[in-house]
Amino acid sequence: MPQSHTIRTQVAIVGAGPAGLLLGQLLHRAGIDAVLIERQSADYVLGRIRAGVLEQVTMDLLDEAGVGQRMHAEGLVHSGFDMVCEGLRKRVDLAALTGGKTVMVYGQTEVTRDLMEARQSAGLPTYYEAQSVQIQDFDTAHPRVVFEHGGHTVGVECDFIAGCDGFHGVCRANVPQGAMQTFEKVYPFGWLGILSDTQPLHHELIYASTVRGFVLCSQRSHTRSRYYLQVPLTDTLDQWSDEAFWDELRLRLGPQQCASLVTGPSIEKSIAPLRSFVAEPMRFGRLFLAGDAAHIVPPTGAKGLNLAASDVKYLSQALRDFYLERSNAGVDHYSDRCLRRVWRAERFSWWFTTLMHRFPADATIDNKLKYAELDYVLHSEAGLRSLAENYVGLPLDFAQAGA
């Protein structure tokens, strides 16, 4: 019979992805106690290759959390990106179109590493490889999280549970039927991603819509590239050797665009499905969902990680108001405040994905209409400005300003 012991804290955070780790860091800096519970090992979490582009809002949050140093030292500030569509190639000058705003190319893996190291340096309570995690009594003022760890049953008595456990986590799954409404769109294709220690094709990102499918040329540094190809949902990794990947990339972009392409062995290769998903509301009693636990965007608009960051900002502010100001306003308005920003990012990500990808059901006229829209957007000041202001990210306070 495993021994059991009980811990008392203010906030139990389930999930040590960027949302959970960033929340833990912001709460720590506000003097609010939190215990972090993660089902995988730290190395496993760090081994997941995901997002690559940070909005200014996210960069500011990492600075506020005291973990922005390496990002500023090693990250790449990008003031634009290229769009390619058949014979058309156009640079979207983000800085000129948004009054100087830029984005930071700095991998989610590095963000996670910086947050993990900060948490470990502060000696904050973190349970990796927690098994059979259960959340209990979150519809009361005394919620609990129970899990198995190192042969012990651990019970965490808390005031709040932060469900930062991603799309497949346990927190959203425990919300009673009928208490939540979900909205979902699954796209009829996936992204085959490859990471290679090769010089990026271009100094900025390239988003390409081609007759053979979407291509994204991204990067992690001047010597590490990240590429994505749209692939059918039925494709599996064993169908894609490195050589097949590079050949397809050349076929899609053409010899001119690939003249300076440097290929090399993949150090990571994966296929990710694409979906738009939102769960409403994002709060249930003392349970608050943040990040992928509450919403998923297709990665085309580079919003997933950035939305997780803005949720966490709102949640950390709400919990500070509760503990430090004795106010319930923040926790009561958390869900509405997040969802306004979430749906705007969902809309942009859906629009950008639909515009840039070839859908199996598309008729010829659909592709002609998409080309015409791209042709308009890339040659219209208004169209470019709309694309740019969504890509760099909406300000945190727009939801309050009634904009």
Query: Where does this chain bind ligand PHB (CB under 6 A)?
Result: 51-53, 205, 216, 218, 226, 299-302
- Of the candidates 337, 316, 317, which has an alpha carbon nearest to the alpha carbon of residue 24? 316
Given 143, 200, 298, 299, which residue is catalytic? 299
Rounded CA separation 396/203 (Å)? 29
Strand-pair category, 53-54 with 103-105: antiparallel
Judged by CB under 6 A, the chain residues 12 through 41 that form the site for ligand FAS are 14-20, 37-40
From ligand PHB, ligand FAS, none, which one binds at residue 164 (CB under 5 to 8 Å depending on kind)?
Answer: ligand FAS
Which letter does DSSP use for residue 176 in this model? P
How many chain residues interact with ligand FAS (CB under 6 A)? 33
Active site residue 299: yes
Select the residue interacting with ligand FAS from 161, 164, 194, 229 (CB under 6 A): 164
From ligand PHB, ligand FAS, none, which one binds at residue 272 (CB under 5 to 8 Å depending on kind)?
Answer: ligand FAS
From ligand PHB, ligand FAS, none, which one binds at residue 300 (CB under 5 to 8 Å depending on kind)?
Answer: ligand PHB
Active site residue 72: no
Rounded CA separation 398/358 (Å)? 33
Nearest distance from C-beta of residue 268 to ligand FAS, angstroms: 11
- Of the candidates 283, 9, 330, 27, which has an alpha carbon nearest to the alpha carbon of residue 163? 283
Tell me if 103 sits within 8 A of 55, measured CB to CB: yes
What token pair was written down for 230? Answer: 């749209």
Residue 114 touching ligand FAS (CB under 6 A): no
Q: What is the dihedral of CA 248, 253, 259, 264, to 10 degrees?
A: -30
Judged by CB under 6 A, the chain residues 253 through 272 that form the site for ligand FAS are 272
Nearest distance from C-beta of residue 226 to ligand PHB, angstroms: 4
Active site residue 303: yes
* Kind and range of the H or E run holding 399: helix 398-401
Nearest distance from C-beta of residue 94 to ligand FAS, angstroms: 16
- Of the candidates 17, 251, 29, which has an alpha carbon nearest to the alpha carbon of residue 122? 29
Q: Coil, strand, or helix at residue 94?
A: helix
Using CB under 6 A as the criterion, which residues of the chain lie in contact with ligand FAS when the complex forms? 14-20, 37-40, 45, 50-52, 108, 130, 133, 164-166, 169-170, 272, 291-293, 299, 302-305, 308
Which residue numbers are catalytic? Answer: 78, 207, 299, 303, 391
